[in-house]
Chains A and B, each alone.
Chain A
Amino acid sequence: MDNRSEPARDPLVSGAESEQRRSAAARLFDIRRVIGGLFAVYGIIVTLMGIFDNQAEIDKAQGVRINLWAGLAMLGFGLLMLLWQWIRPAEPPASPEERGVLDGSGDSGPGSPGGR
């Protein structure tokens, strides 16, 4: 679109937007690591419980070794999440430059000379 007209200006909105260059959002960690970690641990615990399940527990689950299967599934899912994170590390969240605000480190720096 060549006609990049600005939306209507509002002091409160643009005030908050101009703070954007101080944003520390780039330091946010990758949630895939947490999901992968928690599910891998869950998977290990539940799989181990599944290995040692007694007959009463298997009977309760209608003969399905649910702990074993669910544990292995969670372990697999957790490892997949970790693998995904490892293969495709997060692109750093949209940095101020990409928003048209010139600023090197994400820390406080010079303001924009006309980005937007």
Chain B
Amino acid sequence: MDGGGLRLNMNALDYVLLALYFVTVLGVGFAARRAIRTSVDFFLSGRSLPAWVTGLAFVSANLGALEIIGMAANGAQYGVMTVHYYWIGAVPAMVFLGIVMMPFYYGSKVRSVPEYLRLRFNRPTHLLNAISFAVAQVLIAGVNLYALALVMQALLGWPLWVAIIVGAAIVLVYITIGGLSGAIYNEVLQFFVILAGLIPVTVIGLVKVGGVSGLMDAVRDSRLGEAGLHAWQDTGSTANPLGAHWLGIVFGLGFVLSFGYWTTNFAEVQRALSAKNMSAARRTPIIAAYPKLLIPAVTVIPGLIALVTVKGLGAPSGDLQYNNAIPLLMRDLLPNGVLGVAVTGLIASFMAGMAANVSGFNTVFTYDIWQAYVRRDRPDAYYLRIGRYATIAAVVIGIGTAFIAAGFSNIMNYIQALFSVFNAPLFGTFIIGMFWKRMSALAGFWSLLSGTVVAVGTYLLYKGGVIHFNSDLEESFWGAGLAFATVAVVAAILTPLTAPKRDEDLRGLVYGMGGIDVKGDVLAGDAAWYRSPLLLGVIALVLAVVLYIPVF
């Protein structure tokens, strides 16, 4: 038995629990196969899923490597301020997506987010976005895979290459065979397994530190001090753990960054497009907002517990990095049994993240690149086949990226951060295009391109040391804000100089042009008040405000 480092003391029954999970995941993929006959079945689950399934998949697709490990690390490093990533940095954007934007996405029957750009603007805008999205997805899938392998290596002692191949093979099988239904069904399952793994860590951790009040006392005595228990105090300046001014939190994180990620990231939006009707599609991100409100309880709180119970946490390298907050708690607190469930939950979270990237990629590659620009007008079965090949290619490239990441882990961090800056200009282009019918096709293309150049440029200048920001977070606020402003300015200048699109081409795509019917496909039961997207959305927003009160 290797007692050193992060290695967990897994016994045979723990491995049985893990193996049962792998078998179930593969079984879901195989069982979903019989529901696939058309490309829409494969890429969008035949637009047939109920809202609670797509909603949980929506939140699960985001519960990848960054989320569980990263947010617990942030909890340990920045304290309670980490909740901003959830309550202001996610929930409002999710509600906005459901109430305001989803009628355009779902109502126009587009099959992907880039496809909306093709209909609203023109083919160059579409191709630009489709390619950047596709490249980002395979690279990020590789980063997720590498993170998965690192955890399996550290916790279970598996060699890196074995972990990479096993993780990739499982995701490959269930998506190639089961398509988006396989991915989404597994995401719903993963959601519950992740919770089943995190809740025992949190509960025992709280028992150890003497409950919530014990934890608060301990945090006051920790490196963070009183500031670690407040979300908004001291945000009048940047003298707070996160180093962020409230303006930056509200407009940078809460508006530009979060709206960019949640409303235009196809790996997320795809889940809503697979819903069975307009009402279910609109409720998808809103249903997802409710778990999102509560997830900090099992990420930020364990982070704080790790901060006060693990001596020396926060080392720049080695086993005591902030990123290991949750694995360290698992090692210290969980007996065999729940330990197996927790490890399974952690691995499930990585696979969920990677699967979302892969299923987003195969759809965009097939519909937006292959069908639109390479081979048009083939029978549907042809595109279904291409989708399966694209899945295999994505996973193989992901494996390659993961091995590259193993050699240059810093470079991969930069790549991931770099792609996150693509969202802000994209959101700017979308939101202006959706609400300003005059915005021309050419303006769409140049807005997106120039916004992207500004975002990438700001990032590279910061990394190159030319411009100075207090933290990476501050850079991302500013980079995103500048990109958004650039999009707006370029759109305002170019639109009057270029030809508008014809009104009939904008039906169903732009606000105020008609062509959208949010009630046309309504099913029995959807009219119930508790299924109103507007009401559910408002309640989620109110809860986000109320939850802030005890940690103000």
Give the interface of A toward B (CB within 8 A): 1, 3-8, 10, 12-17, 19-20, 22-29, 31, 34-35, 37-39, 41-42, 45-46, 49-50, 53, 57-58, 60-64, 66-67, 70-71, 74, 77, 90-91, 93-94, 98-100
Contacts and interface: CB of A to CB of B under 8 A. Distances in A.
B38 A12 contact: no
Interface size class, chain B: 35 or more
Nearest to A63: B207
Given A5-B514, A61-B204, A23 B41 contact: yes
Given A6-B515, A12-B372, A91-B523, 16 more contacts: A1-B520, A4-B520, A7-B108, A7-B508, A13-B109, A16-B39, A17-B109, A19-B40, A24-B37, A24-B46, A38-B21, A38-B193, A45-B17, A49-B336, A61-B334, A70-B338
Contact of A62 (B107, B199, B204, B505): B204
A66 B192 contact: no
Given A4-B520, A19-B380, A31-B185, A49 B337 contact: yes
28 contacts: A1-B520, A5-B507, A7-B109, A7-B515, A8-B119, A8-B507, A19-B39, A22-B37, A23-B38, A23-B46, A25-B48, A28-B32, A29-B35, A34-B28, A34-B189, A35-B189, A37-B24, A45-B17, A45-B337, A61-B204, A61-B335, A70-B199, A70-B337, A93-B46, A94-B48, A94-B521, A98-B521, A98-B523
Contacts of B193: 38
A19 B47 CA distance: 12
Interface of B: 13, 16-17, 20-21, 24, 27-28, 31-32, 34-41, 45-50, 53, 107-111, 115, 118-119, 181, 185, 188-189, 192-193, 196, 199-200, 203-204, 207-208, 276-277, 332-338, 341, 367, 371-372, 376, 380, 504-509, 514-521, 523
A15 to B, nearest CB: 8
A25 B185 CA distance: 13
B505 to A, nearest CB: 5
Contact of B35 (A24, A49, A53, A67): A24
B48 A71 contact: no
A8 B335 contact: no
The residue in A25, A41, A90 that gathers the most chain B C-beta atoms within 10 A of its C-beta is: A25
B188 A31 contact: yes
B501 to A, nearest CB: 10
A7 B505 CA distance: 8
Contacts of A53: 335, 337
A110 to B, nearest CB: 17
A88 to B, nearest CB: 11
A7 B337 CA distance: 54
A49 B119 CA distance: 57
A94 B276 contact: yes
A13 B199 CA distance: 43
Contacts of B509: 7-8
